[in-house]
Chains A and B, each alone.
Chain A
């Protein structure tokens, strides 16, 4: 295997540095763009399904709407749906999620029953008072949102909701350090949330069904209408209630984004294909890098060949070297991405977009990059003159 080292040592340091720098920058563009696409697609899951990690097994119930903040479900329908499986249910948490505007900035307002909040979420009060029912015209604000809106305890905010015909003036009672997505939101008592959303007391936006530890989610999903063979595949589930001619029908989705985008008529596959296509197009740059590493070291590699090393061995050694550099650049870029995320600080409706790369997307983009890099190296003919 000494021939590998011989080839690698023969490559010029300048060309390796240039190739490595190019690999890092190109990988950065590739992962940034693909990561953003994936994160934008998953924004709804961040809005409503993240708490699954905190609670353990949960099922979220929404209506078949365009977004969680336009969803309205009847509490009686949820109770009816869960009637047969009540032995497996630990608790049902109802939330009102709505979109509001504070001085031209959109925010998500969440109405929560403070008892359930205290029971299921970890938080600490940074400033002001803890959740308290004595504060009737008040809101608690997540640290991230407080920073963005530059508000502090005691400030009075004017909040206009698309669903209500009047402005709500609310005083900030506390700034809280709380888990995502709440840290990007304004939290109000459940009753006030209903007023802002302008719906009756028998309704909610979403219901989070917390299951008992011993509950069999596969059996539950089967009871809720998922085909038996698919039930074990769903680690988390979102049940959409469709109101058709007075009847309630439930449909199960694996992701919140899948449900809400389906409502728009966009199937998840469309976005997956778009992301893959973007990854493919951007990966073309790797082909140029592959070609350049050969062209810049062409004379040195020809000498090695003339000394008796086969062209195949020369190319294999270069491939090993460049593949290693590519893998290092992928790891390095993945470490740098959160930093770029921090610097650019992208937000949508107050919620921070965290660039995320799913394993499947990462595997596909790595495969494209490798494919183009290898073809770039292989297409360069060392012995043929350029025309």
Chain B
């Protein structure tokens, strides 16, 4: 067993030297450099985008914003229900949303919505209309209107009109209306960096997906050219292979040795390509300065990603070189 391994390694070493001396080495190098350099640029590009986003988020001084979400992301929140509603007044109607809140004063304080007119205290059950709806349907304060929630009519009296930023001018605000819907929303104040980070993370995800779509086919489809380069390599070292056969080394050992030798050299070129790609990204970052575009980060491929790429390439190169030898020896 040990002898077989030793013989295989010796043959591989001979073939490796033979490949290094041959003219086809340059072709193999170029063919492996192209996909690995592109892959490296893509990986570095992903890290560059990520690093720049992190720098942006770290330096972003956000102001407070009011968020409504289906999950509470703050300890200090208000529960509310948001439902579709049709408001009917005389012969006119509009479709809008109704906010059913438990603590109307806390809601007003958090959202900075102002009650601009009211006919009574709004502590108990009440219905307040957004000023735009009131204007559009010409509903004065104290009017009786019909709300249709889930197609069920509900006669109510408008006891307040409110004004606020965002959507609040267009909605109905109510307390004391019972609804069977279990869907709860949570209203809370947060820093706008929460929103900015959500926007940036989604943009990063989109870019990462696009870059992966570019990287995977480039690596896989270009394999056929690597296969052709291995075929060419065999053509160039076929005299040496013939000598090994004449020395009595079995063809199966030569085949595996050739695959081992090509894989070792291939992996070196892949690492070279990854380094070249990193260098090109750094060069581009430096050139970008002349266009007044400044990048604070200098991305480097993390070791585990390098191992991952090499790990994918080792079986790929071994299979391609083995198959190319099998194809050629078959001829």
Binding site for B on A (CB under 8 A): 18, 21-22, 25-26, 28-29, 32-33, 36, 40, 99, 101, 103-106, 134-138, 154, 156, 158, 160, 162, 164-171, 173, 192, 195-196, 264-267, 270, 278, 281-282, 284-285, 287-289, 291-292, 295-296, 340, 344, 346-349, 353, 386-387
Contacts and interface: CB of A to CB of B under 8 A. Distances in A.
A167 B166 contact: yes
A284 B293 CA distance: 31
Given A28-B217, A169-B97, A282 B34 contact: yes
A212 B75 CA distance: 59
A171 B67 contact: no
B214 interface: yes
A138, A158, A169 interface centre (most CB from chain B within 10 Å)? A169
B204 to A, nearest CB: 10
Nearest to B229: A288
B168 A166 contact: yes
16 contacts: A22-B224, A22-B225, A26-B225, A32-B217, A134-B94, A135-B94, A136-B136, A138-B95, A164-B165, A165-B64, A169-B97, A173-B95, A195-B166, A282-B218, A348-B203, A348-B206
State the 5 A-B residue pairs at the shortest beta-carbon distance, nearest first. Answer: A166-B166, A285-B225, A167-B68, A25-B221, A265-B291
Contacts of A387: 22-23, 236
Given A29-B222, A32-B218, A344-B213, 19 more contacts: A22-B224, A22-B227, A26-B221, A29-B217, A104-B201, A104-B202, A135-B96, A156-B83, A165-B165, A166-B165, A167-B166, A171-B84, A270-B291, A284-B31, A289-B228, A291-B232, A346-B210, A348-B206, A349-B203
B15 to A, nearest CB: 15
Contacts of B82: 156, 169
A30 to B, nearest CB: 9
Contacts of A195: 165-167
Interface in B73-120: 82-84, 93-97, 99, 111
Contacts of A21: 224
Contacts of B63: 165
B132 A353 contact: no
Nearest to A274: B284
B198 A165 contact: no
A292 B232 contact: yes
A98 to B, nearest CB: 12
A106 B203 contact: yes
A229 B242 CA distance: 70
Interface string B32-74: 0010011000000000000000000000000111111110000
B195 A265 contact: no
Contacts of B2: none
Given A284-B34, A292-B231, A36 B167 contact: no
A347 B207 CA distance: 9
Nearest to B172: A137
Contacts of A101: 195, 198-199, 202
A166 B195 contact: no
A267 B291 CA distance: 9
Nearest to A160: B195
A26 B221 CA distance: 6
A160 B167 contact: no
A294 B64 CA distance: 70
A137 B96 contact: yes
